[in-house]
Amino acid sequence: MILQTPILALLLAAALSNAVALWTAWFGLRVLRGWDIASGSRAQLRLERRTGLASTLFGFVMLIQIAALLLFVFNADRMATLFVGAMCAVGTLNVNAYGFPALYLKIAVFFAASLWLILDRVDRQGRDYPLTRLKFSGALLIAPLVLTGAGTELAFFLGLKTDVITSCCSKMFTPANDGIAAEMTGTAPATALWFLGLAGVAVAATGTVSLAAARLQWLFALAGGVFFAAALTAIVSVISLYVYDHPNHHCPFCLLQREYGYVGYALYVPLFAGTALAMGAGLLSLFAGTGSLATVLPGALRRLVWASLICHGLFGAVVLSVIATSRLVLFG
């Protein structure tokens, strides 16, 4: 099954990412050992010259990883026709034991990559590269994640046999099962919507406060994280019902299909971007006191919070329009 164009593309991206991640990690070790911005030694000069390249390459890979997540999900959805009983990406991912781990690792890499890119961007603006050590220890942590992700992905693709009987989303997202998916599905629609609404208010409030006070961004990040969980629960528990006009179809992956106007992408892209930006703002706020960043950081934080708020707003607008245009009446 490896001879499918999107799979070939994903494997190529994974191979490139692995190579760069390994090199960056190795380089990161040297930075951690020998980085001393005050020193004028030859070794330090060499390190300084190469950090630029290392960050560019690693940033490039992080961008690829973000795009690869989209391609991975899109491809899983598309391949569902090849397996017996699959209706959407869930069926494909369930073909063997590596499917969902591969997806979760890709999502983890997505968030790690977004945070790293935000750090990198700010670090470049500081004259003495104040975050370099942090950035490269981050790269050192992300590299194993990238490698494991690639390995799991490869195992998943190699294990894909067509005509295998797999399980459909309707069997996974049902309250009758155990596990977190079932918990999410089983949440009462009203509860899920209330929870989402409250989390939305919390995001808006903490966002406004952090914009006005120019601090407390970590609170905003926290609210963003809670909103993310609330949003995923709400999508599984109630928003999917509105999209499908069906009181029992809870799948969060069928949303990505053409029949439903690709509304899943309109939901997930702003949600994931908004969450990543909020977490980025929280992370950056930890360095508010760092010397050379004092001038750039407030501006960067403002922009991040704004961007995150806009993404959350977009998500909210899509949710509202889905509920408004649905023919399904759940309440009243």
Partner 1 sequence: MTPGLRRQRALAEYTLAAMARRRGKNIGLVAVYAAVVFFVASAMLFSAALRREAAIVLSEAPELVVQNLLMGRHELMPGAAVETLAGIRGVAGAQGRLWGYFYDRVNGANYTLMVPFDPALIPPAGAAIFGEAIPRTRDHPWLGAPLFLSRHPGDLVRFNAAGQLTAAQGLVSSDLILIGEADFRAFFGLPPEVYTDIAVTIRNPREIDTIVQKAEALLPDARFVTRDEILRTYQKIFSWREGILVALAGASILAFAIFAAEKASGLSADEAREIGILKAIGWDMRDVIAMKLWEGGLVSVGAFLAGTVAAYLHVFAFGAALFAPVLKGWSVIYPDFPLAPEIDGIEMTALFFLTVLPYLAATLVPIWRIASADPDQVMR
Which spans of this chain sit near partner 1 (rule: CB under 8 A)? 2-10, 12-13, 16, 46, 49-50, 52-53, 56-57, 60, 64, 67-68, 70-71, 74-75, 78, 81-82, 84, 124, 162-163
Contact between 46 and 185 (Cβ < 8 Å):
no
Burial class (CB in 10 A: 0-12, 13-18, 19+), 23: middle
Nearer to partner 1, 146 or 230 (CB): 146
Contact between 240 and 264 (Cβ < 8 Å):
no
Nearest distance, CB of residue 109 and partner 1, angstroms: 16
Which amino acid is present at 8? L
Nearest distance, CB of residue 3 and partner 1, angstroms: 3
Contact between 185 and 250 (Cβ < 8 Å):
yes
Nearer to partner 1, 8 or 201 (CB): 8
Nearest distance, CB of residue 298 and partner 1, angstroms: 17
Separation between Cα atoms, residue 269 and residue 221, nearest integer Å: 18
Nearer to partner 1, 163 or 259 (CB): 163
Pick from 144, 33, 150: nearest CA to 98: 150
Nearer to partner 1, 84 or 97 (CB): 84
What CA–CA distances, in Å, run from 204 to 25, 219, 223, 275? 38, 11, 9, 13
Separation between Cα atoms, residue 142 and residue 113, nearest integer Å: 8
What CA–CA distances, in Å, run from 324 to 79, 244, 319, 328? 32, 13, 9, 10
Nearer to partner 1, 127 or 215 (CB): 127
Distance of alpha carbon 169 from its chain centroid, rounded?
22
Nearest distance, CB of residue 135 and partner 1, angstroms: 14
Nearest distance, CB of residue 104 and partner 1, angstroms: 21
Nearer to partner 1, 187 or 257 (CB): 257
Nearest distance, CB of residue 50 and partner 1, angstroms: 5
Nearer to partner 1, 56 or 321 (CB): 56
Separation between Cα atoms, residue 167 and residue 94, nearest integer Å: 7
Nearest distance, CB of residue 134 and partner 1, angstroms: 19
Separation between Cα atoms, residue 187 and residue 174, nearest integer Å: 11
